[in-house]
């Protein structure tokens, strides 16, 4: 069995992050920076996530990255407009692997969210969570059972379907959660997992 563990890498020809100056400027602000790579997806409850950051406009920036759920972007943009949010940024295009890695490194917390309307999503085997952990970023997740178990066991973030309480806990205890992530050294886990796969393949040739 190959465990769904992965980490992002910079390609040899990587030339840097290409996003707007407005977004680059916001990444240097002294706020807690949250990143979701599920784009505008409402099925992934990013509408609730956007609404949750309204009360944290002075302390949190949210970045919704990628073309997943692109059809939901007008709904997300309406929420941003109706709530007069200045701390939500949409990057609608898919970033390449190097750009995504750099963007995650520039943020503080990864958002890992799935709905619970079917078995496949409820009992998700998320590889996405490892992309954040490999960059030493704590996570906020939805309350899907596998994510809950992982967070309870390792204390590397907070699960919250409504997001607000989780955001506040990360604001109050960021150093605690990040230290736990660093101590687990997930990038080494990815390397060991890949090496074991290679050994298994060779032994079965």
**What confidence tens digit (pLDDT) does each residue in 183-204 have?**
988 766 666 555 654 565 566 6
* Residue 4: per-residue pLDDT: 61
Enumerate residues 6+ apart whose C-beta is below 8 A from 68: 37, 38, 39, 40, 41, 44
What average pLDDT does the segment 126-144 reach? 93
What average pLDDT does the segment 106-128 reach? 88
Are 94 and 66 in contact, with CB atoms under 8 Å apart?
A: yes
Better-scored residue on pLDDT, 194 or 157: 157
Are 14 and 98 in contact, with CB atoms under 8 Å apart?
A: yes
For residue 88, which of 143, 40, 17, 135 has the smallest C-alpha distance? Answer: 40
High-pLDDT (> 70) share of the chain, %: 88
User: pTM to 2 decimals?
Assistant: 0.89
* Residue 161: per-residue pLDDT: 97
CA separation, residue 145 to residues 16, 115, 177 (Å): 37, 11, 20
| Structure confidence by residue, pLDDT tens digits, 98-109 | 999 999 999 999
| Tokens coding 37 | 């790579």
What average pLDDT does the segment 135-142 reach? 97
Using the predicted structure, report yes or no on whether residue 1 has a pLDDT greater than 50.
no
Place 13 in a pLDDT band, splitting at 50, 70 and 90. confident
Domains and CATH numbers, the chain: 21-203 (3.40.50.2000)
């Amino acid at each position: 069995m190959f465990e769904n563990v992965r980490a992002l890498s910079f390609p040899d020809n990587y030339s840097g992050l290409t996003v707007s100056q407005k977004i680059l400027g916001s990444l240097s602000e002294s706020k807690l920076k949250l990143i979701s790579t599920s784009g505008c997806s409402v099925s992934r409850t990013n509408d609730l996530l956007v609404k949750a950051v309204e009360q944290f406009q002075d302390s949190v920036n949210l970045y919704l990255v990628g073309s997943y759920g692109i059809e939901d972007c007008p709904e997300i943009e309406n929420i941003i407009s109706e709530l007069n949010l200045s701390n939500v940024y949409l990057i609608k295009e898919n970033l390449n692997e190097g750009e995504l890695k750099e963007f995650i490194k520039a943020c503080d917390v990864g958002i890992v969210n799935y709905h619970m309307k079917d078995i496949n999503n409820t009992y998700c085997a998320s590889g996405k969570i490892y992309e954040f952990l490999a960059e030493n970023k704590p996570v906020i997740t939805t309350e899907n059972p596998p994510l809950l178990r992982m967070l309870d066991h390792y204390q590397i973030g907070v699960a919250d379907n409504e997001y607000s309480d989780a955001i506040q806990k990360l604001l109050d205890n960021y150093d605690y959660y990040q230290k736990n992530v660093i101590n687990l050294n997930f990038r080494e886990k990815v390397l060991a997992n890949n090496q074991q796969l290679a050994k298994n393949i060779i032994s079965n040739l």
